[in-house]
Structure 1
């Protein structure tokens, strides 16, 4: 859709944008360098019940 000029931009997550860029590089699509759209979202990390060491390491890293 973007390549066929049906719209001008397609917002992507900061986590996904680089992978998408490399996946569709042959379509001559670029990443906008000066525009950022911020919208709140949640990311969840699940660990096996009782794996306190891993849960604490993840929490510490995120903090």
Structure 2
């Protein structure tokens, strides 16, 4: 993560598979104390009942 910050690289966490408690925390990046700029979510939002997706955006990126 230090390299990402040093070179101002956008860090995206793909949480489609490991989000919503599958690793013991709400998101996989929370479990490992990673601070992504964007987080992608999908299947677990509806428990695969219907197709849905979302992107969480950090305050720095949204401004």
TM score, norm. by length of structure 1: 0.27
- Name the one with the larger strand percent: 2
- Name the one with the larger helix percent: 1
Structure showing greater radius of gyration is 1
Larger RCO: 1 or 2 (CA < 8 Å, sep 6+):
2
